[in-house]
Structures are given as C-alpha cells and as structure tokens.
Structure 1
Amino acid sequence: MRRRGIACVLMLGVLALPALAQTASDPATPPAAAPQAEGASPELQDLQAAPAQIVVSGRRPGPGVWKVSKGNHVMWVFGVYSPLPRNMEWDASRVEHLLSQSQVLLAPPSASAHVGFFKGLRLLPQLPRLIGIQKNPDGATLQDVLPAEVYAHWTLLKDRYIGDNEDVERLRPLFAAQRLQAAGRDKSGLVNGSIVRERIFQIAKANKVKVLQSGFELELDNVGQALTAFKKTQLNDAACLARTLDSLEQDLGALQQRASAWADGNIAEIEGLDYTTQAQACDEAILGSSAAGQTSPEFRSIHERLRATWLEAAEKAMAEYASTFAVLEMKDVFDPRGYLGALRAKGYTVDSPK
C-alpha cells in the first residue's frame, strides 16, 4: 500500500496551485467601508465599492455536456466551475442519466505525492519547526516586504473585505492574496463549487460506475530539507499580491458572471468569458521557488504532465468502453490548446452542447 508522510502533505499544501478556501462570514453583512490609507494614491482612494452580492437561487441546470466520439465509442465531458452562487441548487438529473449509462467515470486530472512510509516517519520530528510556514521569514510583516504603493492598496482592500485582522499582516504575500480573494468571493455571494464534483462522484457510486483516475504521483526527495528551506526563503510573490489587488474588483465581477452563466447553462456566454485571472503570477511564485525545485523538478512541469496523463487516460477509456463520463474544469474545456482541443487534433469528433 502506498502511504503519504505527514510532512509530504504539508509540502503539498504549500506547493499546490492556489485553491482559495471560502471564509465563513455572514452573507448578510455589508462590505466594510474602506478608509483612506496613508500614502495611497488618488487613484487607489477612488476605488469603486465592492461588487453587490450575486443573487441566483433555486434549482439550476448547469451547462450541458460535450460529446467526444470516435466510431461507436463516446465520452461525455462535463465542465465544472468554482466558485458558484451561494444559494444555487444544482439540478443533476441530466448528468445522472448520462453517468448511469456509462461504464466508467474519468476523474479530473490531479497530482499526488509519495515519500514512502518510513521516510515519512523520519520527517515527523521536523514538524514543530514547520509551524507558521505561511508566514514571512524572520517575523517580517507585509509592510516590510511590499513596495509602499502596493501595501497602501493592500490596506484599502483588506479593510474592505477582511476587516480588522492583525494576523494576516504576517502572512507571505502569496497567502495574503489567497485570504483576500476568498474574503472577496464570500462577500460577493460566491462559495466553493466542489459540491458539484462531489455530487457527480456520489452518482457514480450509487450506480456502481467504475472511477478511473487520470493523474500521477510525484516521488518527492529531500522533502525535509525543502520544507525547512521554504520556511526560511522569501518568495518572489509580491507580484502575486499586487496582481490580486489590481484585479480584485474586476475579477470578482467576472467570477459572478461566470457563476451565473454556469448555473443557467448559458454556453454562449460561458465560452465568451475570459478565464484569465491573477493565478498565473501566484502559481509562478510557488512552482518557480527554490523549495519546489529541491523537492521535485517535476513541479516545474506539472501542468504539462497533468494534460498528458489525462489525455492518455481518456484515449484508453474510449478505446475500452462504449461510454465514458469525464469531468474537467471549464477553463480546460474551452482552451483551444487544452484537453478537448488535443483530442480534436487527434481525430476525435468534439460536439459542444446546444
């Protein structure tokens, strides 16, 4: 049996691509007024008010499914999205029908890590030294590590979305950006969309549909050394926070648009929306770090490997089974150089939902 060491799990928590958790604030609480921060430019002091909460309630169908076919074999592809409207109830009847008629569910691409059981045990004594790994080295604050203008911008938006919280001031810019983005989503009436993915796996289990994994496992070396180095190293992640600050209101508005379009199954609107966010700068802060390189050089090419392993699994499933049901992130469905685009280039017929 393959086992994961606890330190390995911590490393993945640090080096995983940013997945923004939702905060549990009261949805009825209005956004706090943003006071003018000392040193802020007139442009920053004139920021627009936070976006109004998205209002989408009741049962919603979500998007249709994409049909990938070759000969008599078909793969139905459902695009998931996060975040979604807080009060939306997803109508899964269409997905339930197609999934119940399929022989296999192809899971979304994902990467896991393996350090070996005994190696993991040897790492346990290091865990106390890793407490506070999300904080800046040497007790530095955001004011210490950010340019003055970026910090002034941060102060304005922190007051608006997070409120009075001194602990967040000691976070690395990368994790401060995650906290701010999550708080902004929460105040905009958006929640994590993982409930849709979980429902799909429940349907598969209820119908005894086999689940086929499509990811891969990284063999991690020098994990303890890399974790210790990560705690001491200042990441080049100021750009991540700056990009998050510059785009927060715009991104929140786009998130609301995409969430509403997904809930209503509006394919034309979904396809026309831009899926580019501040994530690229934040990903690079982690995947380009020396700690990531020390842990596994494969972290640098994780996106390419995920795409390759999913395509291999998809082609194998379509060759072996008459009907496959697959789940992908919506951005990977629409990317012309992405997953479905690659299958189309290999000669598969790809039909979009009407």
Structure 2
Amino acid sequence: MRKILAGLMLAATALGGAARAQAIDDPQANVVEALVVSAKLPGPAWWRVSDGDTTIYVMGTPSALPKGMAWDRSVLERRLDGASVLLTPPEWRAGLGDIPALLRLRGNLKDDGDWTGRSPALAARTQRAWSGVDPKNAGEWRKWKPLFVALQLNGKANSQAQLQTAQPDKTIKDVARKQRVKTRPAAVHKAMPMLKALVREHSEEAGLTCLSETLDATEAGPAPIRAAADAWAQGRVKDALAGPRSAERCELLMPGVADLKRQLVDDEVQALTDLLKTPGHAVAYFPLRALVAENGVLDKLRARGITVRTPGEG
C-alpha cells in the first residue's frame, strides 16, 4: 500500500509541476566554496557542527546510487556509536484517507496528446527515449501531460540503469538500527495541502521545458550520475556536486517549490540548532547541495555563530 500511495503522490505532484512558464528560481544554484572541501577520512564527506558540549556529524547525500555500489561505512559506524539520534531530512506524509483525493488528482494528469503536433521534434525524441526504456508500452506516454511523461521517463531510465533513489538513505538507517540509534526526521509536514496547492494551475509550456531537460539527461545516459555517485563515495565533494540536476530543475518549475526548498533548509537548520542543546554527539544526513549552498544549511548555521568544520579537517 505504501508503494501505491507513493506513486499516487508522485503523480499528483507532477500536475503542479507544469506551473506558469517563468525563469527558474533555484535557491541552491550557487555553493559556498569554503564548504566544498574533499574528505580527509575514508568514504563520503562529513561536516561537523558544534558548540561547547555537543558535536553533530553531518553527512551530505546524493539523490541516488547505482545498485550494489560499495562505499566505506567505517566512519558512519564509528560516529553512530553512542550517538543520541540520527537526524534525517524532513518528511512529507499522507495517510490512507488521502488516497481518494490523490486518485482524483492523478486523473487530471491525462492528456489528449495535442502537444505532440505543436512540438513534433520533442515528440519524436520522447518516442525514441520511451521505446528505449519501455519497449513493451512504447505509446503509453501519449496519454499523459508532458510533465508527467518526464517524471515517468526519468523513473524508467533510472530503473533501467539500476539507479536506486532509496540509497544511501536506507543503508544509513539500517546501520543506525543495528547500532540501536533512534532515527528522527528534521520535521514532518502534511503532504495533501502542498499537493492541492500545486495542482491549482499549470501550463503546458513548463511541462515541455521539463520534458526537454529530462530527455537531455536520458540521452546522455547514466554515466554522469554514476560518476557523481563515485565521487560522493570517495568524498570528492566538488565532483559529486557536478552531477546532472534535470530532475531537480523540473521540481523547481512547480509553483511554490523553490519556497518549499527554502523551508526544508530552515527545518534542517532549526533541528540542528535544537539538537545542539543536548550534550554529547549526534549524527545527521541531508542532501549534499542543500548543505553547502549559499543560504543553505551550513551557511545559515555559520551566520548564527555556530561552529562548522569541513571534511578537510577530519
């Protein structure tokens, strides 16, 4: 049931993604170079947030990893030993009672396919890409709005390339569970108000922009994502940040998503600040770019006078 609900939420979100065509408001476009430092220790990069009697070890994570990709967990295991909590990214939650509304929203994603006549070149590219990742249902994409075509295409391409969006999150949580460290999200938000707000207005043009960028990434293949994942596993932060951002740029076409991303950063900043009130040490992980962006998590913590040490300091 959780898988069905997650799929419906994705479908509902997609409609809002076709918001009014406009320049993309990307709150994480720029990073703080002083924070983009390669790791001194083995494995992924860690930052340290501390005050007088508390230290929080913070790992930056990618959006997906190749299936079965090995990465050094020794630092993670050591830092979880005796940790008071594992702090995870904020969560959006919906209940079983929301399923009827999600189904109705999903119905609004249907399309008559008229856009293919207005954008024949894009339609031809879509047909080729879709046939490559789902040859048994080569014409299935024609009944959906362009933005939802993009989201489905991205998911199918990731699946074909064996890229797992549940990783490395699942592994981190599994290690914490084995070491009996409780896990807590930085914040919890109700999903339905957000989803309903997203579907109030949409445009075909934004959906077509998203589809075009998704096709660029699909046609480039999984090599850039795999290269970024390898860099992440080796603690090479700058190279890890160089991975493609087409899926994220699609999200930013949705009305209000840029502000939502700012809210999530504020959630993470507040959760870390509150955690500093508990003596001892804790562990957290948040999306890598959100950590090191200008006005991102670590930048805002430093602005509050909180000490932040980089991965180069061990």
Question: TM-score, normalised to structure 1's length?
Answer: 0.66
| Partner of residue 11, structure 2 | 14
Q: Residue 219 and residue 304 in structure 1: after superposition, are their counterparts in 2 closer, same or farther (change >3 A)?
A: same
2:253 pairs with 1:284: yes
Tell me the amino acid that sits aligned with residue 337 of structure 1. Answer: N
Q: Residue 8 and residue 155 in structure 1: after superposition, are their counterparts in 2 closer, same or farther (change >3 A)?
A: closer
Rounded to whole Å, the distance in 1 between the matches of 2:92 and 2:311 is 29
Contact 2:150 2:210 in 1 (8 A): yes
Q: Deviations over 1:299-343 (max 9, x none)?
A: 673222211121111100012232110011122223232111111
Contact 1:104 1:325 in 2 (8 A): yes
Contact 1:174 1:240 in 2 (8 A): yes
Q: Which moved further from structure 2: 191-200 or 72-81?
A: 191-200
Higher Cα radius of gyration: 1
| Partner of residue 254, structure 1 | 224
Rounded to whole Å, the distance in 2 between the matches of 1:15 and 1:96 is 38
Matched residues, percent identical? 22
Secondary structure of 1:102's aligned partner = coil
| Partner of residue 37, structure 1 | none
Matches for 1:172-321 after TM superposition, within 5 Å: 172-187=145-160, 189-218=161-190, 220=192, 226=196, 236-250=206-220, 252-271=222-241, 273=242, 276-285=245-254, 287=255, 301-321=259-279
Runs of at least 4 residues off by over 4 Å: 7-11, 15-18, 142-146, 219-223, 229-236
Secondary structure of 2:157's aligned partner = helix
2:121 pairs with 1:149: yes
Secondary structure of 2:149's aligned partner = helix
Contact 2:12 2:105 in 1 (8 A): no
Q: Residue 180 and residue 132 in structure 1: after superposition, are their counterparts in 2 closer, same or farther (change >3 A)?
A: same
Q: Residue 211 and residue 244 in structure 1: after superposition, are their counterparts in 2 closer, same or farther (change >3 A)?
A: same
| Partner of residue 162, structure 1 | 134
| Partner of residue 333, structure 1 | 291
**Residue of structure 2 aligned with 1:100, choices 76, 81, 94:** 81
Contact 1:142 1:173 in 2 (8 A): no
Tell me the amino acid that sits aligned with residue 233 of structure 2. Answer: A
Cα deviation, residue 74, structure 1? 1.0
Contact 2:65 2:168 in 1 (8 A): no
Secondary structure of 2:285's aligned partner = strand
Rounded to whole Å, the distance in 2 between the matches of 1:220 and 1:186 is 27
Rounded to whole Å, the distance in 2 between the matches of 1:346 and 1:135 is 44
The root-mean-square deviation of aligned C-alpha atoms, in Å, is: 3.9
* Unmatched 5+ stretches in structure 2: 16-41
Rounded to whole Å, the distance in 2 between the matches of 1:16 and 1:136 is 14
Tell me the amino acid that sits aligned with residue 167 of structure 1. Answer: E
Cα deviation, residue 111, structure 1? 2.7
Aligned length: 284
Contact 1:267 1:353 in 2 (8 A): no
Secondary structure of 1:284's aligned partner = coil
Q: Residue 145 and residue 179 in structure 1: after superposition, are their counterparts in 2 closer, same or farther (change >3 A)?
A: farther
